[in-house]
């Protein structure tokens, strides 16, 4: 029995999307206008599409430098987080009956309750003194800080994988490392995808950690660059919005291509 489509709800939801699209429409619209057009109604379409704003923004903010910084950070963080955090979680999950590992689990997970500001001040000093107030330090910190949450979700997932699968491999004399990479890691791929997406969104969009950790302006990531250039954009909103749009665009493009996969995996993370 196929029920009739609920058109009332459909139309309500479609009207609701206007609220989502409105700020984005405004952003694109203003990014394409000239400063002179700002006195006219802001919602009207630009008289003529002015792509010069984008070129100016790219030059002024050194966009490609920031893009590559953001990309390097996000990519390294995602890959290394998935590889290391799953490994740690595997060791913990398979030894939860031992006091030591159980203690570790609670050690990592309880850190989720620690608000970042309390470690911020000492951390800033510590990383700077260790010469880590740069992209490498930033990558490092993201991977370490992600452990809390990731151990929590990975351990839950690994526990649901039957130990029997590994026992066969142990009989064949495979080492724990080999078992992890050959048997467990492939089985984790749904969870890896979830962790990768959440980590990527976090590392790409985060502003606070780059703000306090990075020293050299050359290292600035995309959100940080928008902040740094606020005063130079001044009231040239067209330039500012072109710059915002450029900064938002990479993620929007990735999302357009992979939205099904992204939402599917975020949903899976929620059900677990």
Partner 1 sequence: MRLISSLVISLTTAALLVGCSDISSQEAGIVELELFSNKAENIATYESMIERFEEQHPNIRINLYAPPDAETLLRTRLVKNDMPDMLAIAGNALYRELVSVDMLVNYEGEPMLDPIQPAYLQTISDLEGSEKEGIHGVPFAANANTMIYNKVKLKELGEDVPKTWDEFIQVLHKAKAVGEIPIYFTFQDSWTTMPAWNSLAGNLQPKQFAEKKINKEVTFQGTHQEVAEKLLQLKDYGHNRMFGIGYNDGNREFSQGKGVFYSQGNWAIPELIKLNPELDLGVFAMPITNNPSKNKLVSGIDVLFATLKESKHPEEAKQFISFMMEEQQQQQYMEEQSAFSVRKDVLSDDPIMEGIQDNFSEGKISSFPDHFYPAGMGAQNMIQEFLYQGNISKLLKDLDREWDQIQLRY
Partner 2 sequence: MKSRQRAFLLMTIPAVILFFIFHTFPLLQGILYSFTNWRGYGDWDFIGLSNYVNVFKDMRALNAYGFTFQFAIVSTVLVNIFSLLIALGLNANIKFQKTLRAVYFLPNILSILIVGFIFQFIFTIFLPQFSDALGIQALATNILGSPDHAWVGVVIMAVWQATAFNTILYLAGLQTVPEDVYEAAAIDGASPWKRFWKITFPLIAPFFTINMVLALKTFLMVFDHIIALTGGGPGYATESISVLIYRGGFEGGQFGYQSANAVIYFIVIVVLSIIQLRFLQNREVQQ
- Does 215 help bind partner 1 (rule: CB under 8 A)? yes
Q: Which is nearer to partner 1, 131 or 173 (CB)?
A: 131
Q: Which of the choices partner 1, partner 2, none does residue 131 contact, using the CB cut-off of 5 to 8 A by kind?
A: partner 1
**HEC states along 162-214?**
CCHHHHHHHHCCCCHHHHHHHHHHHHCHHHHHHHHHHHHHHHHHCCHHHHHHC
Closest CA to 36 of 241, 238, 246: 238
Contact present, 152 and 89 (Cβ < 8 Å): no
Check if the beta carbon of residue 89 is closer than 8 Å to that of residue 150.
yes
CB 202 within 8 A of CB 164: no
Residue for token pair 């990075």: 214
Taking the chain, what is the end-to-end CA distance rounded to the nearest angstrom? Answer: 31
Residue 134-163 contact track with partner 1, rule CB under 8 A, x = bound = xxxx--x-----------------------
Binding string to partner 1 for residues 56 to 95, with x set by CB under 8 A, is what?
----------------------------------------
Instruction: Write out the binding residues for partner 1, residues 225-244 only, by CB under 8 A.
Output: 227-228, 230-232, 234-235
Nearest C-alpha neighbor of 76 from the set 144, 150, 149, 136? 136
The item of partner 2, partner 1, none sharing an interface with residue 128, based on CB under 5 to 8 Å by kind, is partner 1
Is 177 one of the binding residues for partner 1 (CB under 8 A)? no
* 212 is an interface residue for partner 1 by CB under 8 A: yes
CB of 216 to partner 1, least distance (A): 8
The alpha carbon of 65 is separated from its chain's Cα centroid by a whole number of angstroms, namely 19
Which residues between 109 and 128 bind partner 1 (CB under 8 A)?
121, 124-125, 127-128
Least CB distance from residue 228 to partner 1, whole Å?
5
Q: Which residues bind partner 1 (CB under 8 A)?
A: 121, 124-125, 127-129, 131-137, 140, 212, 215-217, 227-228, 230-232, 234-235
């Amino acid at each position: 029995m196929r029920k009739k489509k609920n058109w009332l709800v459909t139309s309500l939801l479609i009207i609701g999307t206007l609220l989502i699209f409105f700020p984005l429409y405004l952003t694109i619209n203003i990014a394409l206008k000239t400063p002179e057009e700002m006195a006219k109604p802001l919602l009207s379409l630009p008289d003529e599409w002015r792509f010069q704003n984008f070129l100016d923004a790219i030059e002024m903010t050194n966009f490609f430098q920031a893009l590559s910084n953001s990309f390097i950070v996000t990519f390294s963080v995602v890959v290394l987080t998935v590889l290391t955090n799953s490994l740690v979680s595997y060791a913990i999950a398979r030894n939860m009956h031992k006091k030591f590992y159980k203690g570790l689990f609670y050690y990592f997970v309880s850190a989720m309750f620690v608000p970042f500001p309390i470690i911020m001040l000492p951390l800033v000093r510590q990383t700077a003194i260790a010469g880590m107030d740069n992209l490498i330090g930033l990558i490092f910190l993201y991977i370490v800080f992600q452990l809390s949450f990731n151990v929590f979700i990975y351990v839950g997932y690994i526990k649901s994988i039957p130990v029997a699968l590994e026992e066969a491999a142990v009989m064949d004399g495979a080492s724990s490392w080999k078992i992890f990479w050959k048997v467990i890691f492939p089985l984790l791929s749904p969870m890896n995808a979830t962790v990768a997406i959440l980590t990527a969104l976090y590392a790409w969009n985060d502003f606070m950690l780059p703000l306090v950790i990075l020293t050299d302006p050359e290292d600035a990531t995309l959100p940080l660059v928008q902040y740094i250039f606020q005063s130079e954009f001044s009231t040239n909103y067209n330039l500012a919005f072109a710059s915002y749009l450029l900064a938002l665009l990479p993620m929007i493009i990735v999302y357009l291509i992979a939205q099904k996969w992204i939402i599917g995996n975020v949903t899976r993370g929620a059900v677990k």
